[in-house]
Amino acid sequence: DTAVSQTPKYLVTQMGNDKSIKCEQNLGHDTMYWYKQDSKKFLKIMFSYNNKELIINETVPNRFSPKSPDKAHLNLHINSLELGDSAVYFCASSQIRDRGNEKLFFGSGTQLSVL
């Protein structure tokens, strides 16, 4: 009954490869996010997406792209992986239309290691 689930938990891959991380939420939320947490623990927003609007942090390389097949899923695709992409990636969701419930529910994170 995990509210926000993401897979895989660990991802080890070679430079130059293309990989995807999947995220699903069963909370009925209208907005989903991807955050990158670096080795210094900084949580950097990458994308915010509801079924109407995708907001992209302009500092995110275009090698990263979110894909939402439906309201409950927001997958993260990464092309041509680089060493600097190594980090923990967190998916999150919230219900922004329901004022008073905007808190973020995070997935358990995906530890990406690029060799």
Partner 1 sequence: GENVEQHPSTLSVQEGDSAVIKCTYSDSASNYFPWYKQELGKRPQLIIDIRSNVGEKKDQRIAVTLNKTAKHFSLHITETQPEDSAVYFCAATHSSGGSYIPTFGRGTSLIVHP
Which of 25, 75, 93, 94 is close enough to bind partner 1 by CB under 8 A?
Answer: 94
Which residues, numbered 19-38, are part of the site for partner 1 (CB under 8 A)?
A: 31
Burial 46-83 (b: 16+ CB within 10 A, else e): bbbbbeeeeeeeeebeeebbbebeebeebbbebeebee
**Please, what is the minimum distance in Å from the beta carbon of residue 19 to partner 1?**
21
Which residues, numbered 46-65, are part of the site for partner 1 (CB under 8 A)?
A: 48, 53, 55
Which of 14, 28, 41, 62 is close enough to bind partner 1 by CB under 8 A?
Answer: 41
Q: Count CA atoms closer than 13 A to 73's CA, side-chain side.
A: 11
Please tell me whether residue 9 binds partner 1 under the rule CB under 8 A. Answer: no
